[in-house]
Structure 1
Amino acid sequence: MSTSLTCTSLSFAWPDGTAVFEGLDAAFGPGRSGLVGANGAGKSTLLKLLAGRLTPADGTVEVAGEMGYLPQSVTLGTALRVDEALGIAGRRAALHAIEAGDVSDEHFETVGDDWDVEERALAALGELGLGHVGLDRTVGEVSGGESVLLHLAALLLRRPDVLLLDEPTNNLDVYARRRLYSAVSSWPGLVVVVSHDRELLELVDQIADLRSGSLTWYGGNLSAYEKALAVEQEAAERMVRAAESDLRKQKRELADAKVVLARRKRYGQKMYDTKREPRAVMKLRARSAQQSAGKYRVMHEKKLAEAKGRLDDAVEAVRDDDEIRVDLPYTAVPHGRAVLTLRDLELVHGARVKNGFDLHGPERIALIGRNGAGKTTLLRTVAGELEPVAGEATAHVPLRFLPQRLDVLDGELSVAENVARFAPGATGNRIRARLARFLFRGARADQRAATLSGGERFRAALAALMLAEPAPQLLMLDEPTNNLDMASVRQLTSALDAYEGALIVAGHDIPFLKSLGITRWLLFEEGELRETTPEEVGCPA
């Protein structure tokens, strides 16, 4: 039987009654499927339902074959040995016992036919760049990105027929991402991947777009999906213009109809007043005119209501792809002006910047390297959050730092109040006018930060820093695209396009970094910072 994954009439709601899915039908066939959608659309929830981690209120999930699931947040006990995390500890112990001369039946039953379990485990680790991780080491000795790969290695060993991946590249460095791409592209079964990673989504065979609780399928990879979507949006916008024109026409015709009816009424009244016809005839004529007028008015009101409905449907089909458009002249840095100086800098945890590093003018720096190399430590040191062990880091312009955690926001304050904390001299009207350009219009600016979606929270944090006073002429971002949907990434890119200051972005999302107009690439490797190129670290142009 061909591998497949289907859900029928699937319904699910959160404990507060908020509906996520109502009667959802979907069928995933063999090959690789990318699941995309806005933050909060329910992508992770759907994957959990498919994986059996959540129970639907109604409907069924059927899978043909064994299933494997890689959640967005991988948590493994730090005391767990690597072989335990891989699920082979029992077979490995039995194998070692047999090799030591213990020929108990229970050991042979445990091993079964899996006599090369250790070799396969080491091969799986090597395939994902974890060849240096021994089977006897503990999970606490590996980095967060390596623990994700370790979980994936366990799935590689099992080789399930159906593989569900939820944002698998979020915590992976550029090298680990390459290995993940290779594993996904060579997977022989059915793969469903939720991701905003462009390179990963270029490997899929089809895209499922989750919107308003339903799925729309597009053949091909991300590029093909975006082309098809662009064609759809052009058609949808034409429909909106046609519906708006029709609505205006129906309003005019209703107004004209009211004028005609008013004239008829005045004529009838005049005939009645002058008694030009017998009263019985006039009464009959009046009743007939009233009935005719009522039908006439109802007909035009119905046409108007239908036109409004068509316009609502047409507007619904157009996606909200607003871009952030900001004018921040005070962030500009003249060419050649000193922005940041690092001298013989030694950081906590051992990383260092030998000799010196200088950042001038509106340069745009991409900071890349393996997980744990020291990128975040360097940014926090430059921002003044950490003291250097030795040397100095001197910023010559106002700077702002946006950490991965987005903890610059106070969850109990509104978006407008959070921005006001960073620009105490700005009036409320000025703050709201600026926030509108970050897509927080009207009541949205009064939402509490704690109630915002992931993409909205990031946008609010970015607004707070970019609208700060004094205006930041050096902006530092740490892994800014983690957990952002593709629409939010586009909005971030458009905001940074308008930023005229110097920029340092630490990240592993090479397509995103390239979209920012990076002028210099810096690699943290083996505790040291040096100039590089994307091609040097295996990221083709």
Structure 2
Amino acid sequence: MPSHLPTPAAVVLRDLTFSWPDGGTPISGVSGTFGTGRTGLVGDNGTGKSTLLRLVAGHLTPTAGVVSVAGEVAYVPQRLTLDTDATVADLLGVRAPLDAVRAITDGDVRPELFDVVGDDWDVEERAVAALAAIGLPSSPGVLDRTVGTLSGGEAVLAAVTGVRLGRADVALLDEPTNNLDGAARERLGELVRTWRGALVVVSHDRELLERMDATAELRAGSLSTYGGPYSAYEERLAVEQDAAQRAVRDAEQTWRRERRERIKAAERIAHSERQGRTDTANRKYVKAVVNDRRNAAEKSQGNRRGAALAAEQSARDAVEQAQRTVRDDARIVVDLPDPQVPAGRRIAVLRGAGGRDVVLAGPQRVALTGPNGVGKTTLLERLVDGPSAAGELCTDRVGYLPQRLDDLDDDATVLDAVRSGAPEATPGELRGRLARFLVRGDQVDRPVSTLSGGERFRVHLARLLLADPPAQLLVLDEPTNNLDLAGADRLVEALVGYRGALLVVSHDRSFLDRAGIDTRLEVTADGVVAG
């Protein structure tokens, strides 16, 4: 597919390849460019989008090939929230000058501290003002708060704001709308709309992708870039795929015609050979004449047979070539077994405001709503950990998918990580389950630390669904954060057919609408639900 870049190149990739130590190669021979405007980078989970950003940022070293970047790079990773000890000052990129100013204020007059500060004597005031501008709390000590005390959305907004403050020439954002509520998404959208410099955003958020100047797709080792936002890319792709389908039909029709012609030619040749044998048997001609004519006929028939076979093979090759341009991407298969939850059975009790508890009973579906930072994730964590002020569970058959996806052992292999949730399952059964989530072959033996966000999510989900007996309650915290658009569709289909109880936190309104949510409860600042 051709490249249509609206602006000069800020990032150039030449035959870029990256392999993990275990031999996995998510990026192989990729060439392409990112322009100086805003580019949305899309592609199915596992195609290497996050790895590509890490290569451009310099966090990984290419196995082969070259990355050329015009200027300084700033990078906001997808797994930002896993670094729970980082502070808001770290996210904003002001830790060094802030510490230097504080040390000087406390009486430390070392010259190197003044060098670090430079002209940034008001760094703390500017940082706090930047946080307030995007709706984050500006209370005393906010810059020293750790990521572990922030909501996922607050951490991401702070990090993106830090990139803006740093004014890097090239900014890379990996799934920045994960965990953001509606208001925060609007603030991020405004930051993106007014961005100065080159910006590359990996995202499955259609609204954010519509704010891009160009759309790049990473697929099957190829990077293709189109001018315009995601909707323009979809329209262009639909036209190309329609043309590809027509090309396949035309090639198949030609192949069928050439096959029929080859069969007819074979029948004519067989008839001629039978006639030749009859003539010889009847001795119509003298032996020398018969031999001459037989040799000439065999040569002519061989030529006709070879030409017919060549024409048919050429037509078959054309079919195969045309089929390669038609997309037939593998999709995850999510199947949820029936947990046999009786109607009306009490599954969980959520503490409600004013002492009015909320009972989750039978196969009920409940979404917890509220702005970033109000405590939705904390409520789920406390509920799953045991009886607390958040409430209590009335079943031990609970499947919990956390937002941060940090409860997998990074040093374990994928197979071992999944086996920890299903110790009685055989390796063959585990591999079969993982294959349905597009984790196959050598990927199963890779360390968890090498997984992309989408791959990590699928391993989590596979472990959750391997539970035997199956979970009677699924507790899902932002389940679509790490899924591509097709994967989110498959998860919705599975949840619609699931016969257990569901408790979910999500800012993806489309997901909640399609998943058949019965009830929406607002989480208050006190960490309880408003019944």
TM above 0.5: yes
- CA shift, 1:139, in A, is 3.0
What is aligned with 1:9? 14
Matched, 1:205 2:213: yes
User: Secondary structure in 1 aligned to 2:45?
Assistant: coil
Structure 2 distance, partners of 1:107, 1:471, is 59
Deviation at 1:421, TM superposition (A): 6.0
Query: Relative to structure 1, is the Cα distance of residues 132 and 179 closer, same or farther in structure 2, using a 3 angstrom cutoff?
Result: farther
Describe the superposition over 1:23-73 as per-residue Cα deviations: whole angstroms up to 9, x where unpaired.
Answer: 433222232111111122111122122222223344433333332111222
1:387 alignment counterpart: 387
Find the aligned partners of 1:101 and 1:389 in 2 and give their Cα distance: 45
The correspondence for 1:281, drawn from 272, 275, 289, is 289
Query: 1:410: Cα distance to partner?
Result: 9.9
Partner of 1:33: 39
AA aligned opposite 1:165: L
Aligned to 1:122: 128
Aligned twin of 2:513: 514
Q: In the alignment, does 2:227 pair up with 1:219?
A: yes
Shift of 1:255: 2.9
Which range moves more in the overlay, 147-156 or 92-101?
92-101
2:493–2:515 Cα contact (<8 Å) kept: no
Mapped partners of 2:186, 2:314: distance in 1: 53
Aligned with 1:188: secondary structure?
coil
- Counterpart in the other structure of 1:535: none
SS of the aligned residue for 1:304 comes to: helix
Question: Which one-letter code corresponds to 1:13 in the other structure?
Answer: F
Contact 2:386/2:392 (8 A) holds in 1: no
Q: Deviations over 1:370-414 (max 9, x none)?
A: 56755456556766x52346865446xx96524234979995489
User: May I ask how many residue pairs the two structures share in their alignment?
Assistant: 511
Structure 1 residue aligned with 2:52: 46
2:139 is the counterpart of 1:132? yes
**Aligned-pair identity (%):** 41
Segment of structure 1 superposing worse, 139-148 or 411-420: 411-420
Once the two structures are superposed, the pairs formed by residues 303-314 of structure 1 within 5 Å of their partners are 303-314=311-322
Instruction: Give the conservation status (yes or no) of the 8 Å contact 1:5–1:61.
Output: no
Distance 2:504 2:328 in 1: 27
SS at match of 2:60: coil
State the one-letter code of the partner of 1:355: R
1:302-358 residue CA offsets vs partner (Å, 9 max, x unmatched): 233233323323333232356778998967989xx4254655749xxxxx8941214
Secondary structure of the residue aligned to 1:338 is coil
Secondary structure in structure 1 of the residue aligned to 2:52: helix
Aligned 1:63-462 pairs, distance under 5 A: 63-74=69-80, 82-83=88-89, 86-92=92-98, 110-128=116-134, 129-132=136-139, 134=141, 137-139=144-146, 142-143=149-150, 145=152, 146-172=154-180, 176-320=184-328, 337-340=343-346, 343=349, 345=351, 354-359=355-360, 363-369=364-370, 374-376=375-377, 378-379=379-380, 386-388=386-388, 392-394=392-394, 400-404=398-402, 405=405, 411-412=414-415, 440=436
Q: Cα gap change, 1:444/1:288 in structure 2, threshold over 3 Å: closer, same or farther? A: farther
Higher mean C-alpha displacement, 160-169 vs 467-476: 467-476
Distance 2:417 2:293 in 1: 64
284 and 379 in structure 1: CA distance in 2 versus 1, 3 angstrom threshold: farther
Query: Structure 2 vs 1, CA of residues 330 and 277 (structure 1 numbering), >3 Å: closer, same or farther?
Result: same
What is the CA distance between 1:193 and its match in structure 2? Answer: 0.7
CA distance in 2, matches of 1:169, 1:366: 19
Matched residue, 2:477: 478
Whole-angstrom distance in 2 between the partners of 1:82 and 1:459: 30
3-state secondary structure, aligned to 1:268: helix
Gaps spanning 5+ residues in structure 1: where?
347-351, 533-541
1:492 alignment counterpart: 491
Query: Secondary structure of the equivalent of 2:176?
Result: coil
Bigger RCO of structures 1 and 2 (CA < 8 A, at least 6 apart): 2
More displaced 10-residue stretch of structure 1: 191-200 or 501-510: 501-510
Relative to structure 1, the CA distance from residue 415 to residue 20 in structure 2 (aligned partners, 3 Å threshold; closer, same or farther) is closer
In 2, Cα distance between equivalents of 1:97 and 1:374 = 34
In structure 2, C-alpha distance between the alignment counterparts of 1:98 and 1:446, rounded to whole Å: 57
In structure 2, distance between residues paired with 1:212 and 1:483: 20
| CA distance in 2 between partners of 1:420 and 1:374 (Å) | 33
1:274-314 C-alpha deviation (Å, 9 max, x unpaired) = 33223333323223222322222222322332333233233
Aligned-pair distance for 1:211?
A: 0.7
| Cα distance in structure 1, aligned partners of 2:279 and 2:26 | 63
Evaluate the alpha carbon distance shift between residue 316 and residue 413 of structure 1 in structure 2; reply closer, same or farther with a 3 A threshold. farther
SS of residue matched to 2:265:
helix
- The offset of 1:210, in angstroms, is 0.8
Gaps of at least 5 residues in structure 2 are 1-6
- Contact residue 353 and residue 529 of structure 1 kept, 8 A: no
**Which stretch of structure 1 is more off in the superposition, 368-377 or 477-486?**
368-377
Contact 1:4 1:190 in 2 (8 A): no
Distance 1:141 1:420 in 2: 31
Counterpart of 1:528 in 2: which secondary structure? coil
Deviating more after overlay: 78-87 vs 186-195: 78-87
Partner SS, residue 216 of structure 2: strand
Q: What is the alpha-carbon distance in structure 1 between the residues aligned to residue 188 and residue 439 of structure 2?
A: 38
SS in structure 1 opposite 2:144? coil
Structure 1 Cα separation of the partners of residues 148 and 471 of structure 2: 38
Q: TM-score normalised to the size of structure 1?
A: 0.76
